[in-house]
């Protein structure tokens, strides 16, 4: 069996400069995370609050934890003291709660707006039209402890590369529009988080700045 460290280094070798790697460690044990940490990886992604609450105190304090899954408003408080980036902000209410909890901890939490561009109705996120309306409305400007740093998406789960490419391209276009209209003087608005194990080469071609890779590093998840 190949080691997670070998897998990590192989994946990293395929990433061009400027593309950050979120090693998605959900459902994998703390020991596997530590192997990657020892090989230099610092950014890890988790998608369940319960699991992160167990792993975070057990692992090195300088790990940058990214929350990549759907986050329930009532669970923000558990991760607010340490979370480094919340990828999938899918409602104004969630962003407002992140602001509130971050302020209470004396922190600023970086956030990405999740866009729903996939064909599956089950996926979460703002439609581009909803996201545009939210940004235009401007209430978020007062939420200074929740910092909007870019956009995130999951592409349609399909073998059709053309569809995947067009999902990512829509999100890239939305990023460019938002940058120009609302964030032109904001250097923090710079992240495009898309691409997983099976589609990240297309994501990179379409301008991803962060890719979220689990299976290609840690192997198949058993749960
Ligand atoms: C699990 C997950 C990933 C990683 O998926 P792999 O196919 O294992 O690389 C990426 N993004 C999100 C939001 C996930 O939930």
Convert the chain into a string of H (helix), E (strand) and C (coil).
Answer: CCCHHHHHHHHHHCCCCCCEEEEECCCCCHHHHHHHHHCCCCEEEECCHHHHHHHHHHCCCCCEEEECCCCCHHHHHHHCCCCCEEEEECCHHHHHHHHHHHHHCCCCEEEEEEECCCCCCCCCCECHHHHHHHHHHCHHHHCCCEEEEEEECCCCCCCCHHHHHHHHHHHHHHHHHHHHHHCCCCCCCCEEECCCCCCHHHHHHCCCCEEEECHHHHCCCCC
**Smallest CA separation from ligand 1 atom 12, residue:** 68
Please state, in angstroms and as integers, the Cα–Cα distance from residue 156 to each residue in 86, 120, 124, 143, 168, following that order: 21, 7, 12, 31, 10
What is residue 89's predicted lDDT score, i.e. its pLDDT? 98
Asked whether 196 lines ligand 1 (CB < 6 A), one says yes
**Smallest CA separation from ligand 1 atom 7, residue:** 197
Phi, psi of 82, rounded to the nearest 5 degrees: -135, -15
d(CA 145, CA 76): 13
CB atoms within 10 A of CB 20: 17
What is residue 81's predicted lDDT score, i.e. its pLDDT? 98
**Smallest CA separation from ligand 1 atom 6, residue:** 214
59 forms bridges with which residues in the sheet? none
Q: Averaged in consecutive runs of 10 residues, what is the pLDDT profile of the chain (223 residues)?
A: 89 98 97 97 98 98 98 98 98 98 98 96 91 98 98 97 98 98 98 98 98 97 72
Query: Ligand 1 center to residue 208 CA distance, Å?
Result: 15
What is residue 123's predicted lDDT score, i.e. its pLDDT? 78
Query: Ligand 1 center to residue 69 CA distance, Å?
Result: 9
What is residue 222's predicted lDDT score, i.e. its pLDDT? 72
Asked whether 47 lines ligand 1 (CB < 6 A), one says yes
Residue 213, burial from CB neighbour count under 10 angstroms (0-12, 13-18, 19+): buried
What is residue 166's predicted lDDT score, i.e. its pLDDT? 98
What is residue 199's predicted lDDT score, i.e. its pLDDT? 97
Asked whether 68 lines ligand 1 (CB < 6 A), one says yes
Phi, psi of 115, rounded to the nearest 5 degrees: -105, 135
What is residue 2's predicted lDDT score, i.e. its pLDDT? 67
Residue in 206, 191, 103, 196 with CA at minimum distance from that of residue 154: 196
For the CA of 215, the closest atom of ligand 1 is 8
Asked whether 214 lines ligand 1 (CB < 6 A), one says yes
Q: Is the pTM here over 0.85, yes or no?
A: yes
Query: Ligand 1 center to residue 1 CA distance, Å?
Result: 22
Asked whether 195 lines ligand 1 (CB < 6 A), one says no
Query: Ligand 1 center to residue 97 CA distance, Å?
Result: 24
């Amino acid at each position: 069996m190949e080691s997670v460290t070998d897998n990590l280094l192989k994946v990293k070798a395929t990433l061009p400069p400027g593309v950050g790697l979120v090693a998605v460690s959900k459902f994998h044990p703390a020991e596997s995370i530590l192997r990657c940490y020892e090989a230099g990886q610092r950014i890890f992604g988790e998608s369940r609050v319960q699991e992160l609450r167990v792993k975070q105190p057990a692992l090195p304090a300088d790990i940058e934890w990214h929350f990549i899954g759907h986050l329930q408003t009532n669970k923000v408080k558990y991760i607010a003291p340490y979370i480094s980036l919340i990828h999938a902000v899918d409602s104004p209410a969630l962003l407002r709660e992140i602001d509130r909890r971050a302020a209470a901890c004396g922190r600023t939490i970086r956030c990405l707006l999740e866009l729903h561009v996939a064909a599956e109705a089950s996926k979460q996120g703002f439609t581009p039209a909803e996201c545009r309306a939210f940004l235009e409305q401007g209430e978020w400007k007062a939420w200074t402890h929740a910092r909007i740093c870019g956009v995130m998406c999951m592409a349609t789960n399909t073998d059709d590369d053309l569809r995947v490419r067009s999902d990512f391209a829509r999100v890239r276009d939305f990023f460019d529009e938002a940058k120009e209209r609302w964030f032109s003087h904001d250097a923090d608005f710079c992240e495009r988080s898309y691409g997983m194990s099976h589609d990240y080469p297309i994501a990179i071609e379409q301008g991803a700045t962060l890719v979220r890779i689990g299976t290609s590093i840690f192997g198949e998840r058993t749960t």
